[in-house]
Amino acid sequence: KNQVEQSPQSLIILEGKNCTLQCNYTVSPFSNLRWYKQDTGRGPVSLTIMTFSENTKSNGRYTATLDADTKQSSLHITASQLSDSASYICVVSAYTGANNLFFGTGTRLTVIP
Amino acid sequence: DAGVTQSPTHLIKTRGQQVTLRCSPISGHKSVSWYQQVLGQGPQFIFQYYEKEERGRGNFPDRFSARQFPNYSSELNVNALLLGDSALYLCASSLRQGFTNEQFFGPGTRLTVL
């Protein structure tokens, strides 16, 4: 069964600290993996996208890693800011006879002063 | 430059009714995808349309249907509404079909079924 699981479900950190969010997937055949940031009540905004051959990609203070062998990805946030408070969603795309996209349930990050 | 727009912003319907949601993609984008996001969960893929044809479909019943117009805008229709259809419906556009291209999401339509 094609699934995307994220951990932790929620996280609270102090402003300025780093954190790492995890994503495990069983989606096959794998096409690409992306991380989105979603503010409450808003549409998701893309942070990074990685294909099978890429194992690291950065976007400012956000760094995503991908291990296609173990089917794991992580999103590392450096020097967190209050504006980083949001849900972070891991999304895996596949071609299962047709285009398909599988979303994790997200990690709810709260950055406190 | 306008992003993806969706209408209406909010909608309240009763069980058994039908609803139509609308999406306008970013100028130049030819692919539109629809997603359902139930409160507290991640989005689930419903449809992808490219050049007016369905190119992908998630695990949703036939009560859900969509179409894409020559100007690449799209409508999502849901018939015989159930309480469980209450959700944020997101539309995303991209340059081409498939999911190798970046998807840009609209603000969503909040549907409440009473």
Spatial separation of the C-alpha atoms in residues A86 and B100, rounded to whole Å: 24
To the nearest whole Å, the CA of A80 is away from the closest chain B CA by: 23
- pLDDT band (50, 70, 90) for residue B96: confident
- On whether the CB atoms of residues A18 and A77 are closer than 8 A, the answer is yes
What is the rounded average pLDDT for all residues in chain A?
92
> Residue with structure tokens 């094609």?
A2
Residue A100 clears pLDDT 80, i.e. is over it: no
Spatial separation of the C-alpha atoms in residues B105 and A39, rounded to whole Å: 12
Least confident of A38-47, A80-89, B61-70: A38-47
- pLDDT band (50, 70, 90) for residue A12: very high
Q: What was the pLDDT predicted at A96? A: 65
- Which of A7, A47, A99 is most worth mutating to test chain B (most B CB atoms within 10 A of its CB)? A99
With a pLDDT cut of 70, the percent of chain B lying above it is 98
Rg of the Cα atoms in chain A: 14
To the nearest whole Å, the CA of A88 is away from the closest chain B CA by: 10
- Residues of chain B with Cβ-Cβ distance to A45 below 8 Å are 105
Q: Is B84 left (phi over 0), alpha (psi -120 to 50) or beta?
A: alpha
Q: What was the pLDDT predicted at A28? A: 85
- Residues of chain A with Cβ-Cβ distance to B92 below 8 Å are 43
CA atoms within 13 A on the CB side of B38: 10
Average pLDDT over residues A10-20: 97
pLDDT tens readout for residues B30-67? 999 999 999 888 889 899 999 999 988 888 999 999 99
Specify the DSSP class assigned to residue B40.
T
Of B110 and A97, the structure prediction assigns the larger pLDDT to B110
Q: What was the pLDDT predicted at A95? A: 74
List, in sequence order, every residue forming a beta bridge with A108; answer none if it has no partner: A10, A87
What tokens were used for B20?
Answer: 């139509």
User: Please, which residues have CB within 8 angstroms of residue A9's CB and are 6 or more apart in sequence?
Assistant: A105, A107, A108
- On whether the CB atoms of residues B95 and B107 are closer than 8 A, the answer is no
Collapsing DSSP states into helix, strand and coil, what is residue A70?
Answer: coil
- Which of B4, B21, B99, B100 is most worth mutating to test chain A (most A CB atoms within 10 A of its CB)? B99
Residue B99 clears pLDDT 90, i.e. is over it: no
Instruction: Answer whether A99 sits within 8 Å of B90, measured CB to CB.
Output: no
- Residues of chain B with Cβ-Cβ distance to A41 below 8 Å are 88, 107-108, 110
What tokens were used for B102?
Answer: 């970046």
Q: What was the pLDDT predicted at B41? A: 85
Q: What was the pLDDT predicted at A66? A: 96
Spatial separation of the C-alpha atoms in residues A31 and B67, rounded to whole Å: 25
- Please name which of B72, B37, B24 lies closest in space to residue A91, comparing C-alpha atoms: B37
Residue A60 clears pLDDT 90, i.e. is over it: yes
- pLDDT band (50, 70, 90) for residue A50: very high
With a pLDDT cut of 90, the percent of chain B lying above it is 75
- Please name which of A106, A98, A107, A76 lies closest in space to residue A31, comparing C-alpha atoms: A98
Spatial separation of the C-alpha atoms in residues A56 and A27, rounded to whole Å: 19
User: Could you give phi then psi for residue A66, rounded to 5 degrees?
Assistant: -140, 130
Specify the DSSP class assigned to residue A82.
G
Q: What was the pLDDT predicted at A97? A: 60
Residue B1 clears pLDDT 90, i.e. is over it: no
> Residue with structure tokens 């970013």?
B26
